[in-house]
Structure 1
Amino acid sequence: MTTLEVIAPATGEVVGSYPAATADEVAEAVRQARSAASWWDGLGFAGRARRLDAWRRRIARGADELAELIHREMGKPRADAMLEIAMALEHLSWTTRHAGAVLGPSQRRPTSLTLNHKCTVEYRPLGVVGVIGPWNYPVFTPLGSLSAALAAGNTVVFKPSEYTPGVGAWLGNAFREAVDGPPVLRVVTGAGSTGAALCRSGVDKIGFTGSTATGRRVAAACAETLTPVLMECGGKDALLVDADADLDAAADAAVWGGMSNAGQTCLAVERVYVHRDVYETFLDKVVALARGIRAGKQIGPVTMPGQVEVIDSHIHDALDRGGRAVLGGPDAVRGRFVQPTILADVPEDSAAVTEETFGPTLTVTAVSDMDTAVELTNRSRFGLGATVFSRRNGPAIARRIRSGAVSVNAFVAHASIPSLPLGGVGDSGYGRVHGADGLREFAYARATTVQRFPSPLPLTSFYRPPWADAVVRVIVAVRHGLW
């Protein structure tokens, strides 16, 4: 059996070993999940809700253990891991409580030509859903898809990231402890080949979260079997600061948004555009706050070894092109730990502005007005999220930004509110998790009509009387503007 060793990024120690599932083993997991699908669907929304609530309580009871596991496998501080778990449980609770109202039968109105029909729409489960999760938020992010897929009535095969397989296995074990019955949630661990096998396994949909580059490979593999995909990919999110902004709050949001989780967040603030009237004051505040953040204390190491090279190359490219490091710089990269780095005067065509850095760095740029800030924000091929700080014009600025979501006067509030959809446009992906939109991603719409009485206007028959055609002509003229 091939195994997958987990290396703690902070220490280099082996902290776990898990099986690397083969294509045959993935196929067997999907087969078992499919065999459980009719039972799980048959429980109905209320029956599934009771079981998902039991899973949620089991996760809550083991939160300290789970937070420690997150810390060991991917390096984030335990307190941040606990915050992630808390947000994930809020989303699981919302999804469980609202699935029936969102997906259950609802009536639709017929037209004047079909008044004799009762019309309903309901959202039925797809069957078996494959979920491919990331390592940077190994509970919060995959649980968005897991909870929606399960609440909708699907069974799930979950492949966690190869950097955090223990977290995924823990969630699967917690589900088995809390929920009796057939294998509704199966976990398969492994690297890219395991994920590719899941894409080709015949599941009814894939929910993927990861980099845009990996997302393209996932989409290509799924295209072979016309398997639909939910894509939550990378970002290059901007924070816009208007002249009337609360600069203390905006600076705090920029530093947390850019540096928390060592910048390893798809929704991280990577670019900041500041009105020139307050630029110097804002930059001083950001530097002062970021100077108190240290890798190894408030933020953890860079989890993926190869990402250190990307971060380092972006810093060097920015400086080579005329930018300046007002905090950090090339010396900030020390092994797997990267100290906060603030870059100013960085050209807009540099890698630090155009490509996802995924590290604790910010580019801070002065702009003449918010029109320019919006234009520069929208130049990116990514469109995941954005943040706007303005006392008077925040919503108006937000409406002009091309992204899946915008938060005004707070960083990434939209991701923490369970009723709101989360997802991007452009290279940030397609489809949505969270909220009603996230539930509908894992179901298909089924329309049903029931004829209540024979139509007084018989139209769908070869033997309809001539007068019926005359009535149709009158209806067209009256209802659609010919008379």
Structure 2
Amino acid sequence: MTTGSETVLQQEKAAADAAITIHDPRDGSLVGSVPQAGPADVDQAVAAARAAQQGWAGVDPAARGELLHAAAAALNDNAERLAQLNARETGRPEAEALEGVKAGAATLRQYAELAPVHRGLSLRGSKMAADYTVAEPRGVAVLLTPWNDPVAVAAGLLGAALVTGNTVVHKPSERCPHLGAALGEVLAAVLPPDVLITLNGGPQVGSALTSHPGVDVFAHVGSSATGTRIAQAAALTGAHVIRENGGNDPLLVDAGVDPEWAAEQAAIGAFANSGQICTSVERIYVHRDIADAFCNALAEEARRRNTSQQFAPLVDTRLRDEVHAQVAQAVAAGAKATEGGEPPEGPGAHYPATVLLGCTEDMTIMTEETFGPVAPVTVVDSFEDGLQLAAAGRYGLAATVLTADMAHAQQAVAALPVGTVKINAVFGGAPGGSAQPRKDSGHGFGYGPELLDEFTQVKVVHVGLPGGVRR
């Protein structure tokens, strides 16, 4: 007969034994295995972060900022090693991975500078009283970060959470556990003990963290399905949730623009990082007046990437199979692949840049996030028709409009129910441009100065005169 305590021990041993094994998506070679955290590890990490939190919150914001500057320097010192791990685990070209590490270091420096000026408000009350607000850390923060830009995304959440006085338990994606462990070691080395704890593991570890009653705030960047589960779990524990989740971002190409320039923009948006960006171009609506020239130029952009021998693979064969299933379904339903559309033979998780014409709104590839290098195209008869289609759907992350008509640009800004609208550029934007995803794409400010507000809670203070004091 097995007792309850024996069952728990067996579960913990099984979790620890179930190591995460990673293969290089470029050639299928073994990268290595990393043990997963068990239930006891989760409890211990949350308890340790809780014990360290009060002391960390007592450190002056400027001093916390100085430690973040040290963390940024440590990232730069270890940039080559982290970039190499990123390349081996996710297939990201090493030069791009290195840019991601340096972007992460820059983000840490930005939050280090923002911390001392993250201020409260002076309130208008009685002449003989003082009324103001102060921002206090929420407590223990659990951060669940993705694999597609693992250092840069994690650094943003880590920087904002730590500099506002929260302690952090970080679970990096199970698709890059070696990188996640190394990142945690680099950053934790310059911070006080237990201010940052890294746990590796898959969905079981994530579920244990998101249902833990000792967590005060969750920040998640990843799929909408996972984000929804986190929000549901947090509703029971009372934790605050910040989430930037999936997208099905439209690109609307108006008549009157240069079709070759528009195709170049579409290719950048659909094929950058092999389509593995949350704000990738996922569906394209092009005006009939320029559709032929645009579609020919877009196919050529895809062909150029496919023949370059430098187009990066997807993160693993599981994702490649999911992407190809959507492409195959669209082709079976009447779409035509003018470039790509079939995974190559051989090792690794490669998938070609793919252009699909004749796509319709009943195809999964037009309604769900694809997360691969696929550019599905629908031809529309007018800007208004395209705008109506672009505004539809259950996601609300971002959208792009290419137009020379500023009235159309303003019309799109007003009509598109998304967190970010980009006019005449698929990527880019000024620093500090925080956005709030909508609908199934998430909730809250996931970056920018407003992220400091997400990781803090406001206390209102009223100071009056004691009784008997003359006014």
Task: Give yes or no for TM over 0.5.
Answer: yes
Partner of 2:6: none
Q: Give yes or no for the alignment of 1:198 onto 2:209.
A: yes
1:236 & 1:397 partners in 2: Cα distance? 17
1:48 & 1:84 partners in 2: Cα distance? 23
1:345 to 342, 351, 358: 358
Q: Aligned Cα RMSD in Å?
A: 2.3
Contact 1:30-1:128 within 8 A present in 2 as well: yes
**TM-superposed deviation, 1:418:** 4.0
Q: Give the aligned residue type for 2:424.
A: N
Contact 1:26-1:197 within 8 A present in 2 as well: yes
Contact 2:275-2:372 within 8 A present in 1 as well: yes
Q: Give the aligned residue type for 1:367.
A: V
Q: Give the aligned residue type for 2:428.
A: A
2:231 & 2:395 partners in 1: Cα distance? 17
Q: Give yes or no for the alignment of 1:124 onto 2:136.
A: yes
Partner of 2:11: none
CA distance 1:421–1:344, change in 2 (3 Å):
same
**TM-superposed deviation, 1:451:** 2.1
1:95 & 1:395 partners in 2: Cα distance? 33
2:43 to 16, 27, 31: 27
Partner of 1:382: 395
Q: Give yes or no for the alignment of 1:424 onto 2:440.
A: no
Partner of 1:463: none
**TM-superposed deviation, 1:75:** 0.8
2:330 & 2:102 partners in 1: Cα distance? 37
**TM-superposed deviation, 1:60:** 1.2
2:41 & 2:331 partners in 1: Cα distance? 49
Deviation by residue 1:293-321 (Cα, 9 ceiling, x = unmatched): 13894332222432222212211221222
**TM-superposed deviation, 1:395:** 4.2
Contact 1:383-1:425 within 8 A present in 2 as well: yes
**TM-superposed deviation, 1:363:** 0.9
1:274 & 1:454 partners in 2: Cα distance? 72
Q: How does 1:319-468 map to 2 (within 5 A)?
A: 319-330=331-342, 336-393=349-406, 394-414=409-429, 417-451=430-464
Name stretches of at least 5 consecutive residues in structure 1 with no aligned partner.
456-483
Deviation by residue 1:44-90 (Cα, 9 ceiling, x = unmatched): 21000100001001111221111111000111111221222233233
Q: Give yes or no for the alignment of 1:218 onto 2:233.
A: no
**TM-superposed deviation, 1:163:** 0.8
CA distance 1:390–1:333, change in 2 (3 Å):
farther
**TM-superposed deviation, 1:276:** 1.8
Q: Give the aligned residue type for 2:395.
A: F
Partner of 2:13: none
Contact 1:296-1:337 within 8 A present in 2 as well: no
Q: How does 1:66-145 map to 2 (within 5 A)?
A: 66-102=82-118, 104-110=119-125, 114-145=126-157
1:183 & 1:297 partners in 2: Cα distance? 45
- Taking structure 1 as the reference length, the TM-score comes to 0.88
1:199 & 1:315 partners in 2: Cα distance? 34
**TM-superposed deviation, 1:453:** 8.4
**TM-superposed deviation, 1:39:** 2.0
**TM-superposed deviation, 1:266:** 1.2
* Aligned length, in residue pairs: 450
1:223 & 1:5 partners in 2: Cα distance? 33
CA distance 1:115–1:366, change in 2 (3 Å):
farther
Q: Give the aligned residue type for 1:428.
A: S
Contact 2:445-2:451 within 8 A present in 1 as well: yes
**TM-superposed deviation, 1:324:** 1.3
1:182 to 189, 193, 202: 193
1:295 & 1:74 partners in 2: Cα distance? 21
SS of alignment partner, residue 178 of structure 1:
coil
CA distance 1:13–1:61, change in 2 (3 Å):
same
Partner of 1:461: none
Q: Give yes or no for the alignment of 1:50 onto 2:62.
A: no
Partner of 1:17: 33
Partner of 2:281: 269
Find runs of 4+ consecutive structure 1 residues off by over 4 angstroms: 331-335, 452-455
Name stretches of at least 5 consecutive residues in structure 2 with no aligned partner.
1-15
1:42 & 1:73 partners in 2: Cα distance? 38
1:96 & 1:82 partners in 2: Cα distance? 21
1:252 & 1:44 partners in 2: Cα distance? 48
1:134 & 1:150 partners in 2: Cα distance? 19
Structure of higher CA gyration radius: 1
Q: Percent identity?
A: 34
